[in-house]
């Protein structure tokens, strides 16, 4: 069987829902570039069938850029003394949540560095206030916390939690995140899932030392965890970090990982990340045509937005209103529409068998 026939057969089997093996995933990751379009189109059809055509919006508030971690690539790392640190007040966070509600969105994402200043009580008070004032679906992205914190957040009314595993290689994880362990991260993800959170994980593509085999393990880990949301983005190191200057300018492999994640997990929510738009002006649109179905516009007030400096050249600058107008236009250009509803992960539907 020729390579072309083998890849076409593999994509057809994946499209109709046949389980993918690690070898299948590796073949799609390593195949010649001329077959990428077929992979992206297949993932796009699975996305249409299993989660529909709407592109769901999540409004992000990056409320603190303090972090106790020292990840080798992130501009928020504790050792970066060039960063102008900030913490938004509760009133500022609430006002921004109201802005997200006024813009018609249904979900707010509260994101920060791992900042011990925000105690469990403080976060729960925020959750209560946002729920009471806006009724928004609340997603938290606050890093690793004890299980009792996650439980308290759930009881306070939080609905979703994002905690990217970053890489499925324990050695690479430990190298990139000094003092951190992958098994602890995975344990947190399992706890979140068990508590009933819609749970998000994800990885970076293009890490130093990353292989196709590690990427295959990333994808299988996402599947094993039964994650509800998958944040997959390119690795871009901040210039004020030990890995400064290391990164990539080719988004092809990131798009492949997004597409395979769609084939593997079917009905998950997969964002087209801002980092993709940083690498390529149409990066986010390309992801939305390769299996992604979520965009997360940044509503952080302008005086803080540029200081949440996790990597250089972030594309999501300007007012939230301008960002939404551009999004509407871009989405329309690919024949899709914005979905302003909450966009929960749908219950599993059986894929249509193609004859």
Predicted pLDDT of residue 291? 98
Per-residue model confidence (pLDDT) at position 150: 98
Helices (H), the chain: 3-15, 22-30, 36-51, 90-102, 120-134, 147-156, 170-176, 182-194, 212-225, 252-265, 274-279, 283-288, 302-305, 320-333
Q: What is the pTM of this model?
A: 0.96
pLDDT confidence band for 58 (50 / 70 / 90): very high
- Inform me whether the pLDDT recorded for 48 exceeds 90: yes
pLDDT (0 to 100) of residue 348: 60
Q: Kindly state whether residue 349 falls inside one of the protein's structural domains.
A: no
Cα(124)–Cα(111) distance, integer angstroms: 14
- Categorize the per-residue pLDDT at 344 as very low, low, confident or very high, splitting at 50, 70 and 90: very high
Q: From the DSSP assignment, how many helices (H) and strands (E) are in the chain?
A: 14, 9
CATH number at residue 118: 3.20.20.70
Report the alpha-carbon distance of residue 259 to residue 256 in Å, rounded. Answer: 5
Residue 353 lies in a domain: no
Whether 157 is covered by a domain: the verdict is yes
Determine the pLDDT at residue 274.
85
* Cα–Cα distance for residue pair 241/95, rounded to 1 Å: 33
Q: Is residue 346 part of a domain?
A: no
Which pLDDT score, from 0 to 100, does residue 352 have?
A: 42
pLDDT (tens digit per residue) in 210-236: 999 999 999 999 999 999 999 999 999
CA separation (Å) from 37 to 32, 49, 241, 262, 328? 11, 18, 35, 15, 25
Give the residue numbers spanning the domain of 325. 3-339
Question: pLDDT tens-digit profile of 59-78?
Answer: 999 999 999 999 999 999 99
Nearest to 66 by CA among 230, 348, 308: 308
What pLDDT is recorded for position 185? 98
Q: Which of 82, 98, 55 is nearest to 301 (CA)?
A: 98
Give the pLDDT confidence score for residue 212 in this predicted structure.
98
Q: Is residue 355 very low, low, confident or very high in pLDDT (cuts 50, 70, 90)?
A: very low
Residues of the chain above pLDDT 70, percent: 96
Averaged pLDDT of the chain: 94
Instruction: Answer whether residue 16 is part of any domain.
Output: yes
pLDDT single digits (tens) 170-189: 999 999 999 999 999 999 99
Q: Average of pLDDT values for 266-287?
A: 93
The token pair at 70 is: 């020292």
Q: Work out the pLDDT band at 313, boundaries 50, 70, 90.
A: confident
Give me the number of domains the chain comprises: 1
Query: In which band, very low, low, confident or very high, does the pLDDT at 347 lie, cut at 50, 70 and 90?
Result: confident
The Cβ of residue 255 has, within 10 Å, a number of other Cβ atoms equal to 27
């Amino acid at each position: 069987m020729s390579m072309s026939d083998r890849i076409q057969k593999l994509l057809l089997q994946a499209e109709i829902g046949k389980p993918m093996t690690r070898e299948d995933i590796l073949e799609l990751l390593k195949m010649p570039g001329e077959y990428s379009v077929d992979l992206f189109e297949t993932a796009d059809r699975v996305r249409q069938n299993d989660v529909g055509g709407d592109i769901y919006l999540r409004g992000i508030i990056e409320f603190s850029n303090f972090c106790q971690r020292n990840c080798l690539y992130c501009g928020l790392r504790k050792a970066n003394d060039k960063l102008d640190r900030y913490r938004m007040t509760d009133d500022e966070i609430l006002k921004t949540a109201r802005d997200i509600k006024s813009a018609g969105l249904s979900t707010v994402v509260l994101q920060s560095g791992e900042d011990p200043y925000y105690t469990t009580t403080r976060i729960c008070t925020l959750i209560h206030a946002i729920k009471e004032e806006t009724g928004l679906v609340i997603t938290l992205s606050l890093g690793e916390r004890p299980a009792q914190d996650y439980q308290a957040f759930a009881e306070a009314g939080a609905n979703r939690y994002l905690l990217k595993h970053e890489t499925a290689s324990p050695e690479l994880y430990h190298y990139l995140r000094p003092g951190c362990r992958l098994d602890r991260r995975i344990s947190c993800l399992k706890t979140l899932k068990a508590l009933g959170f819609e749970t998000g994980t994800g990885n970076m593509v293009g890490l130093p030392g990353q292989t196709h085999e590690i990427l295959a393990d990333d994808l299988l880990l996402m599947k094993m965890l039964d994650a509800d949301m998958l944040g997959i983005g390119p690795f871009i190191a901040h210039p004020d970090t030990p890995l400064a200057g290391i990164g990539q300018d080719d988004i092809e492999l990131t798009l492949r990982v997004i597409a395979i994640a769609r084939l593997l997990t079917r009905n998950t929510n997969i964002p087209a990340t801002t980092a993709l738009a940083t690498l390529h002006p149409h990066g986010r649109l390309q992801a939305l045509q390769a299996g992604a179905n979520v965009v997360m516009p940044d509503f952080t007030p302008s005086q803080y937005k540029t200081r949440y400096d996790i990597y250089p050249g972030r594309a999501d600058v300007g007012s939230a209103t301008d960002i939404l107008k551009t999004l509407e236009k871009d989405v329309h250009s690919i024949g899709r529409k914005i979905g302003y509803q909450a966009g929960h992960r749908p219950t599993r539907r059986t894929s249509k068998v193609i004859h």
